[in-house]
Amino acid sequence: MLQHELTATVETALALGLTAEEYERIVQLLGREPNPTELGMFAVMWSEHCSYKNSLKLLRTLPRTGGRVLSGNENAGMVDIGGGYAIAFKIESHNHPSAVEPYQGAATGVGGILRDIFTTGARPIAVLDSLRFGELKDARTRYLVRGVVRGIGDYGNAFGVPTVGGEVYFQPCYADNPLVNAMAVGIVPIDRIIPSVARGVGNPVYLLGNRTGRDGIHGASLLASRTFEDGQQDMRPSVQVGDPFAEKLLLEAVLELRDAGIVVGMQDMGAAGICCSTSEMSARGRVGMRIDLDAVPLRDPGMSAYEILLSESQERMLVVLRRGTESIAEEICRKWGIGCARIGEVTEDGILRYYRHGELVAEVPAWTLVAGEGAPQYDREAREPAYLQELRAVRPEDLPEPVSPEEAFWRLLTSPTVASKRWVFEQYDHQVQTNTVLLPGMADAAVLRLRELPGRGIAVSVDCNSRYVYLNPYRGAQIAVAEAARNVACVGAEPVAITNCLNFGDPYDPEVFWQFREAVRGMGDACRAFGTPVTGGNVSFYNASPRSVVYPTPVIGMLGLVEDVTAAVGMGFRAEGDVVLLIGPQRAELGGSEYLWLFHAMVAGDAPTLELEEERRLQQVLRMAVRRRWLRSAHDCSEGGLAICLAEKAIASEGALGAELALPWELTAAQLFGEAQTRVVVSVPPEHVASVFQLCREWELPCVELGRVVRDRFVLQGVVETSVAELRHQYERALPEPVERV
């Protein structure tokens, strides 16, 4: 018989983030009033963070199958790369924890996404990050930047995984709610993938890893699933504390358990801890579990059942083993010095039963707790935002140009969003494991060789320009997918699949939900056009405060396959005398551009034009030209436009290679600094120029010669004439000087 400590109330439910209607739904599902422990379980599992109750219906419209995608694992997306191997990859957010405690918030974000990878049986081989902050003139923003970057670097470096790429943006709307999105990538033999499911009545259930403490309780429901309000940012007890050294040992133990062939299923204990992992694994397997909370290793023996179930202590796994292999698992865990405790067993009736001090403290059908089954799903009201009509009425190309092209060039080159991110990535070890082929800042996408498949590799990129999404959520989300695919194509890779992290405001705000709905629709259409299914990801709502709501920011993590890593190209010039070409249409568009923000303090107009078929052709041309070794470099035009793209190619060059360039268009701000899409600047050996032009004609793409690669100087006629050394100096100093100011 269930031991009721107290009967929960509607008031208790409201305090935990549930609604009165949801409380009544719980009563109906259980056929009785829940006790406080059970109500706490429903509160975390039905939170937005765990249940996707306001997003799941829309997410199910995305293309989820086809191509190389493997199905059947909930921890991370899986893609068949041939040769008997799969890539596991996923991106998630740790936004609110990073706003409250930037170092631990970012560090545990990295730790959590790494566990999502190795619970599939994959060894992590790379991390990327997508970061957004307020303006650097604000002291709190500088504090957040320093803490977040140090947290990411310290965790990844100690764990031993390279951080190989990412992006950093600065905009006032992120002042209260920085976005900290982390993506991880791993590799696994297909025949050794571990599912996140519980099966086999009588099979033992184990908890591996660290002891359980009181850190992170209600992190999913009270921190990640609510909007910040005045005075509520001091929520440090809801932020977990990470231990990368313990996680490294946990990784090695998990992989040895995998190779021993004794694991039935496994899941990371992230959000909602034991409650989440036991319920989700059981629901997937249509089984139940009997869990003895007295067997859970604790940091404080006085913890209640409620605290044990909901703790989000880090570096823990739930594992279902094959019955009879317990001694093998325990010996492996002893070898690696990690905790290993049998806490229960699989049952056949689909009911979760939790015991504390020998008494039954919670009894809940597993399916009632999980997303897509018992958890509610909503259709929220959506309404086009009132601001759009006013902003789209602005024609940025008609605005006066307040400074000369040369002054605009230098200010754009040194704006924090455009300038070098070396200060960030130099704090990360990007060469550990020695698989990194193209270093951060040297290519449009990170390229990693795969030791398991000699000669082959992968390319990965994270991308989103949230200004475009703010101005046009549908097209802006398409552009995010297109740029991620374009960046992968620039190194010669074939885009094959995406993961996504969808960062938005309050879903109960009809204007925010309209942004979300349109962005999901745009992302889906772009993925169908490029043949890149969505393997999974994360939705982060409630990124808002009384002062501001973040721009809609659907970050795309793109995976590409590289057939020959020796053919991959970076962005910088590599040989004097090479011809510089622009492939793709030149459109004079300033909507949502960095130029418009810097010189008119506006985010206005419309998102740049994007024609998906034209974009697909461009990416195909790039892949073919790289694989035929006709290109020595390729770099897409993005923030700052064509002029900044050309300068970045010189900055990233080998030695001190620059260029002498002349643009065949009027030197307006829109032509120089507009951020039109579907454009890539390449450098080509003279003997291959004719072949590149012919390839572009065959694929019906414009191709224009802009100049030649020269040594030591950078000349853009009518705009700027300088040395490559000065370009680098200005580009490199722009970020560290303001960030390091206390």
**Domain-by-domain residue ranges, the chain?**
1-54+195-377, 65-193+420-568, 383-413+570-742
- Predicted confidence at residue 4, as pLDDT, reads 45
Cβ atoms within 10 Å of 386's Cβ, excluding its own: 8
Q: For residue 383, give both structure tokens.
A: 């309404």
Whole-angstrom Cα distance, residue 64 to residue 86? 17
Ordered DSSP codes for 532-600? --EEEEEEE---B-SS-BPPPEEEEEEEEEES-GGG---SS--STTPEEEEES------TT-HHHHHHH
pLDDT band at 238 (very low <50, low <70, confident <90, very high): low
Would the pLDDT of 3 be above 60? no
- Fold for the domain defined by 1-54+195-377: Phosphoribosyl-aminoimidazole Synthetase; Chain A, domain 2 (3.90.650)
Is residue 76 within 8 A of residue 92, CB to CB? The reply is: no
pLDDT band at 171 (very low <50, low <70, confident <90, very high): very high
Whole-angstrom Cα distance, residue 54 to residue 350? 26
- Which CATH number does the domain 383-413+570-742 belong to among 3.40.30.10, 3.90.650.10, 3.40.50.300, 1.10.10.10? 3.90.650.10
Would the pLDDT of 72 be above 70? no
Pairing of strands 633-636, 680-684: antiparallel
Pairing of strands 446-449, 436-438: antiparallel
Contacts of 43 (CB under 8 A, 6+ apart): 13, 16, 17, 18, 218, 221
The pTM of this model reads 0.95
Q: In sequence order, what are the beta bridge partners of 720? A: 716
Buried b (16+ CB within 10 A) or exposed e, 395-428: ebbebeeeeebeebbbbbbbbbbbbbbebbbebb
Whole-angstrom Cα distance, residue 382 to residue 515? 8
pLDDT band at 439 (very low <50, low <70, confident <90, very high): confident
Q: In sequence order, what are the beta bridge partners of 127? A: 163, 184
Q: Which amino acid is at 277?
A: S
Q: For residue 81, give both structure tokens.
A: 């790369």
Mean local confidence (pLDDT), 104-125? 94
Buried b (16+ CB within 10 A) or exposed e, 347-357: beebbbbbbbe
- Predicted confidence at residue 223, as pLDDT, reads 52
- Predicted confidence at residue 243, as pLDDT, reads 86
Mean local confidence (pLDDT), 703-729? 97
Which contacts (CB < 8 Å, 24+ apart) does range 430-433 have?
A: 430/162, 430/163, 430/164, 431/162, 432/157, 432/160, 432/161, 432/162, 433/125, 433/160, 433/161, 433/162
Whole-angstrom Cα distance, residue 92 to residue 75? 11
Condensed to tens digits (0 to 9), the pLDDT of residues 526-540 reads: 999 999 999 999 999
Condensed to tens digits (0 to 9), the pLDDT of residues 198-230 reads: 999 999 999 999 999 987 676 554 555 456 554
pLDDT band at 232 (very low <50, low <70, confident <90, very high): very low
Pairing of strands 436-438, 713-716: unpaired
Whole-angstrom Cα distance, residue 121 to residue 255? 6
Residues recognised as catalytic? 49, 94
Contacts of 317 (CB under 8 A, 6+ apart): 115, 119, 207, 208, 209, 250, 254, 266, 267, 268, 269, 277
Mean of pLDDT over the chain = 93
- Predicted confidence at residue 361, as pLDDT, reads 96
Condensed to tens digits (0 to 9), the pLDDT of residues 355-412 reads: 999 999 999 999 999 988 999 999 999 999 999 999 999 999 999 999 999 999 999 9
Q: How far is CA 459 from CA 126, 495, 508, 649, 704, in A?
A: 11, 8, 37, 19, 27
Contacts of 666 (CB under 8 A, 6+ apart): none
Q: How far is CA 404 from the centre of its chain?
A: 38
Whether the domain at 1-54+195-377 and the domain at 383-413+570-742 fall into the same CATH topology: yes
- In this structure, of 12-21, 277-286, 483-492, 676-685, the range with the lowest mean pLDDT score is 12-21
Mean local confidence (pLDDT), 137-162? 94
- Predicted confidence at residue 435, as pLDDT, reads 84
- Predicted confidence at residue 221, as pLDDT, reads 46
Burial tier of 383 (Cβ tally within 10 Å: 0-12, 13-18, 19+)? exposed
- Which superfamily is assigned to 65-193+420-568 in CATH? PurM-like, N-terminal domain (3.30.1330.10)
Q: Which of 699, 651, 707 is CA-nearest to residue 682? A: 707
pLDDT band at 260 (very low <50, low <70, confident <90, very high): very high
Q: For residue 555, give both structure tokens.
A: 């970050």
Is residue 177 within 8 A of residue 96, CB to CB? The reply is: yes
Is residue 113 classed as helix, strand or coil in its secondary structure?
helix
Would the pLDDT of 1 be above 60? no
Q: How far is CA 122 from CA 192, 562, 603, in A?
A: 9, 19, 42
Q: In sequence order, what are the beta bridge partners of 364? A: 352
Mean local confidence (pLDDT), 575-584? 98
- Predicted confidence at residue 432, as pLDDT, reads 73
Q: In sequence order, what are the beta bridge partners of 317? A: 208, 268
Would the pLDDT of 26 be above 80? yes
Would the pLDDT of 666 be above 90? yes
- Predicted confidence at residue 240, as pLDDT, reads 64
Q: What is the DSSP secondary structure assignment for residue 687, as one 8-state letter? A: G
- Predicted confidence at residue 103, as pLDDT, reads 94
Percent of the chain with pLDDT over 70: 95
For 678, how many CA atoms within 13 A lie in the half-sphere containing its CB? 24
Residues comprising the chain, all counted: 742
- Predicted confidence at residue 235, as pLDDT, reads 46
- Predicted confidence at residue 133, as pLDDT, reads 97
Is residue 573 within 8 A of residue 654, CB to CB? The reply is: yes
- Beta-strand runs (E) in 163-295: 163-170, 179-189, 204-209, 263-268, 288-292
- Predicted confidence at residue 228, as pLDDT, reads 56
Q: How far is CA 678 from CA 528, 545, 616, 641, 681, in A?
A: 18, 35, 9, 12, 10
Is residue 282 within 8 A of residue 289, CB to CB? The reply is: yes
Q: Which amino acid is at 290?
A: R
Ordered DSSP codes for 183-209? EEEEEEEGGGPPPS---STT-EEEEEE
Mean local confidence (pLDDT), 272-301? 95
> Diameter of the chain by CA atoms?
84
Would the pLDDT of 150 be above 50? yes
Q: Which of 458, 478, 566 is CA-nearest to residue 518? A: 478
Phi, psi of 373 (to 5 degrees): -125, -95
Percent of the chain with pLDDT over 90: 86
For 205, how many CA atoms within 13 A lie in the half-sphere containing its CB? 32
Condensed to tens digits (0 to 9), the pLDDT of residues 443-455 reads: 999 999 999 999 9
Q: How far is CA 710 from CA 303, 442, 683, 721, in A?
A: 69, 19, 12, 13
- Predicted confidence at residue 74, as pLDDT, reads 74
Q: For residue 415, give both structure tokens.
A: 């704006």
Q: What is the DSSP secondary structure assignment for residue 212, as one 8-state letter? A: B
Locate tokens 């405690």: which residue?
A: 101
